[in-house]
Chain A
């Protein structure tokens, strides 16, 4: 019996040892030290290129429905850029843009964040997808280098304010609005009446100021005089190839071209790793589901106008 007892005590000692090892391992995980060990052991986690993806219309807080993922959510994009900027491994960032632009403030926040990364000597390369127009181009202009596919739609430098005028429809339906307002312009751009001349001038002044800001930022980001940009900054869209001729884009190429360029600019080896922020399959599924469920409802479906903001850097085909 004594022998059995000793064997059992030995087993208990081994169990105690495994518990101590587990506690040690868990402590390392808690402190994040484990990741450091793996980082040293694995060459695939060395200095590399970060990727930020901007998809769809750019807004400050993105879609509010529970399914849609924040592809054009400025807050989420700025947070991602922050993470990349604070990661010592990231020497360059490729900004993958597939967006027709969006609200003015959201676009400018992303632009400013990218300029901040540039000041930190992180090399930035923009890669254009199907569309990188208006606000999409605004963001691209913050990068050191812009790569577009020959068929990418870009340009559309300008500002737009769209408001549906449903006065005729309201009259037809016999709907009249009761409006009590504190000032003459409080219901400016209201859909139930025509715009007055004074109101139009007021909005135009605002649009002009925002447009000038757009030109200034593109000029700053691309290091081109404003006068050289102005001839093509009349809202026209252009293909990637045309954009190269207009000096809005540096070269035509794919996402891979942009990654290679980023490695080159940051003086990284050709096989430097890429840190992408791809969605999980679940996120992709929810995003698709959200798109199918919430696309085109209410007045937006009738007029084609989304009421995210009055004035936008946005390409509206």
Chain B
């Protein structure tokens, strides 16, 4: 059992998931759907790495405060949990919409896809490090790189989604946007409720 695992690590077959994620996202769903391998643990490892690298990138630019220490330790675990929750929620909502639209698919494969799509975000650290070394507006580029890498992750999910369900890219993009639109709507309604409550409170004073 142990020897088989070691052979798997040595064969570098596990690297295919990451290779497909970065360069050939159309082939990723097929690889993920392979029932023999257990890609979910690989996806969780990707989320762990993304959280770790993001915390390191943020800490490089951070001011040395007491919170700084927590950010590196507990903050890493917290970010990992948040990322995992985000992945599960996003994949769940996308799967619900897909089923509503009559598409067949596995929620597990979708969760894996969203997990692996986080992989480009590990590039945030080296990119931020380079601009920090050159002192070239690191906070500004931190934001820019974060947006670009998020867009890359979104592209991976949308490409994978269009492969899984054999749907056009634009339709897959709209399905991908659904969870974000849903959350935005909830946030809008919550803020509206907050404003009404604030006005009510002020009026009652």
Contacting residues, chain B, for A23 (C-beta < 8 A): 56
Q: With both chains docked as a complex, state the minimum distance between the C-beta of A283 and any C-beta of chain B, in angstroms.
A: 16
Asked if A15 contacts B64 (CB within 8 A), the reply is no
Across the interface, A19 reaches (CB within 8 A) one of B16, B18, B52, namely: B52
Asked if A14 contacts B15 (CB within 8 A), the reply is no
Q: With both chains docked as a complex, state the minimum distance between the C-beta of B92 and any C-beta of chain A, in angstroms.
A: 30
Asked if A22 contacts B15 (CB within 8 A), the reply is no
Asked whether A223 is an interface residue with its Cβ less than 8 Å from the other chain, the reply is no
Asked whether A61 is an interface residue with its Cβ less than 8 Å from the other chain, the reply is no
Asked if B126 contacts A5 (CB within 8 A), the reply is no
Asked whether B72 is an interface residue with its Cβ less than 8 Å from the other chain, the reply is yes
Q: Which residue of A lies closest to B49 (CB)?
A: A15
**What is the number of residues of chain A that contact chain B, defined by CB distance less than 8 Å?**
20
Asked if B52 contacts A2 (CB within 8 A), the reply is no
Asked if A22 contacts B19 (CB within 8 A), the reply is no
A1-58 with Cβ < 8 A to chain B: 1-2, 4-6, 8-9, 12, 14-15, 18-19, 21-23, 25-26, 29-30, 32
Across the interface, B125 reaches (CB within 8 A) one of A5, A9, A18, A30, namely: A18
Across the interface, B64 reaches (CB within 8 A) one of A9, A19, A25, A29, namely: A29
Given contacts A8-B19, A9-B12, A15-B53, A22 and B68 within 8 Å (CB-CB): no
Asked if A8 contacts B18 (CB within 8 A), the reply is yes
Contacting residues, chain B, for A6 (C-beta < 8 A): 12
A200-235 with Cβ < 8 A to chain B: none
Asked if B60 contacts A26 (CB within 8 A), the reply is yes
Q: Which residue of B lies closest to A32 (CB)?
A: B64
Contacting residues, chain B, for A25 (C-beta < 8 A): 60
Q: Which residue of A lies closest to B122 (CB)?
A: A15
Asked if A14 contacts B59 (CB within 8 A), the reply is no
Distance of A32 Cα from B64 Cα, bound (Å): 9
Asked if A14 contacts B126 (CB within 8 A), the reply is yes
Asked if A8 contacts B60 (CB within 8 A), the reply is no
Asked if A18 contacts B129 (CB within 8 A), the reply is yes
Distance of A32 Cα from B68 Cα, bound (Å): 13
Given contacts A26-B59, A26-B60, A29-B64, A5 and B129 within 8 Å (CB-CB): no
Q: With both chains docked as a complex, state the minimum distance between the C-beta of A37 and any C-beta of chain B, in angstroms.
A: 14
Asked if B15 contacts A8 (CB within 8 A), the reply is yes
Given contacts A22-B59, A22-B129, 16 further A-B pairs with CB under 8 A are A2-B12, A5-B15, A5-B16, A8-B12, A8-B19, A9-B15, A14-B126, A15-B126, A18-B126, A19-B52, A22-B56, A22-B57, A26-B56, A26-B60, A29-B64, A30-B64
Interface residue ranges, A against B (CB under 8 Å) = 1-2, 4-6, 8-9, 12, 14-15, 18-19, 21-23, 25-26, 29-30, 32
Q: List 8 A-B contacts (CB under 8 A).
A: A9-B15, A19-B125, A21-B129, A22-B57, A23-B56, A26-B60, A29-B64, A30-B68
Interface residue ranges, B against A (CB under 8 Å) = 12-13, 15-16, 18-19, 22, 52-53, 56-57, 59-60, 64, 68-69, 72, 122-123, 125-126, 129
Nearest 10 Cβ contacts at the A-B interface: A5-B12, A5-B15, A18-B126, A22-B56, A8-B15, A8-B19, A26-B59, A4-B19, A18-B125, A8-B18
